[in-house]
Amino acid sequence: MPTWNSRGLRGSVLEDLINRTNEMYREKGLALIQKVPTPITPIKIDKEHRHITLAYFEQKSTVDYIGAVQGIPVCFDAKECASETFALQNIHAHQVAFMEEFEHQGGISFLLIFYTGKNEIIYLPYREVRRFWDRGANGGRKSFRFEEIAVSYPVKQHGGFLVPYLDAIQQDLDDRDAGD
């Protein structure tokens, strides 16, 4: 079981940028997206400095963020990838199941992947996540390469927003409407 000082809770540049972007979206009335807290149970506490040094996760988390954009339910997970190959082990089965259920309820699910070596953030819609997930489950590659992402939307800084993913959501919605 992962613990507080395991790699599962290391600092995330992407999450910091998303959190700042979400604050701006809220202030401008564009979206209300919140970071989903991960419930933990402390095991060791440094009483002198009053902080948790070791803890375990009480339950599996769903995704990193959830909220609404102009009345549309949205959930997504933020991932960082140092190479051009993203390992599917970075996405958990319960997260895929949650995103699928969220989509069935009329919401939009996606990943924001920060390819640190390329300094590029990609919006990857759930349908693409599912395609790679199913491929891995059926004996295929348990990863996908950057160039394999058929339906992805680059997220480029503009207008003062650090991770302006609302543009990618709009593009995704337009593509879904065109496919109907």
Annotated binding residues, written as ranges, equal 62, 64, 77, 95
Write down the H helix ranges in 61-125. Answer: 93-104
In angstroms, rounded to a whole number, what is the distance separating the alpha carbons of residues 112 and 15?
A: 10
Cα maximum dimension of the chain: 60
Residue ranges of the binding site for Mg(2+): 62, 64, 77, 95
Helix (H) or strand (E) holding 126: helix 126-137
Q: Return the DSSP state at 78.
A: E
The C-alpha atoms of residue 164 and residue 154 are separated, in whole angstroms, by 10
Q: What's the rounded Cα separation, in Å, for the pair 53 and 51?
A: 6
